[in-house]
Amino acid sequence: MDLYFLRHGEAEPVSSDDSVLTPDGIDAIRKVAMAMKALDIELDQILCSDLQRAQETAMIIREILQTDIEIGSCYPLTPPGDCDHLLKLLKETHKSSVLLVGHEPLISRTISRLISGNEQGFITVKKGSLAKVFIAGYTRHIRGSLEWLLTPNVLLKILG
């Protein structure tokens, strides 16, 4: 399984958890989606946090990739996040390519856990960054290998 992790775009600095993407955040995520298209990323499933900024991010990705797959609301991706529950859900899915749209620190913790077995890795996922983790198979625990972690600036360079 190819797991793609995308941190939502820049959001309005409001005190509630339900902030929306800024115009710059929308523009940046549109460019991320265009880079995903240039990389020929095809998705079987999109799961995202219940928060508005993550939902908006997922909708932009779906629009640019011109896919009709549903965006599934995934409570374990919603802050504070639940890595154990998220990994259990992923283990039960039979998809080959899944995009997870969420927040920090859960994205970094989950990637760390998948590649090292613990959540204390030294990975930081900036807003609008995209990571790919390959899951070769499932044993008692899900393990994977980090294939890449691309910041928004690197994704822009992919577009030329």
**Which residue in 120, 47, 131, 58 sits closest to 89, CA to CA?**
47
| Domain ranges within the chain, ordered by starting residue | 2-159
Looking at this protein, which amino acid is placed at residue 90?
L
CATH topology of domain 2-159: Rossmann fold (3.40.50)
pLDDT in tens, 120-139: 878 889 999 999 999 987 77
What distance in Å separates the CA atoms of residue 109 and residue 104, rounded to the nearest whole number?
8
Asked if residues 85 and 108 have their Cβ atoms less than 8 Å apart, the reply is no
Supply the pLDDT for residue 15.
Answer: 62
Bridge pairing between strands 45-48 and 71-73 = parallel
What distance in Å separates the CA atoms of residue 104 and residue 48, rounded to the nearest whole number?
13
Low-confidence ranges of the chain (pLDDT < 50): none
Query: At 39, phi and psi to the nearest 5?
Result: -85, 0
Looking at the chain, list the stretches that DSSP marks H as alpha helix, in order from N- to C-terminal side: 23-38, 52-65, 83-92, 106-116, 152-159
Longest dimension (CA), the chain: 43
Percent residues over pLDDT 70 in the chain:
96
Supply the pLDDT for residue 122.
Answer: 80
* Residue corresponding to tokens 């965006």: 71
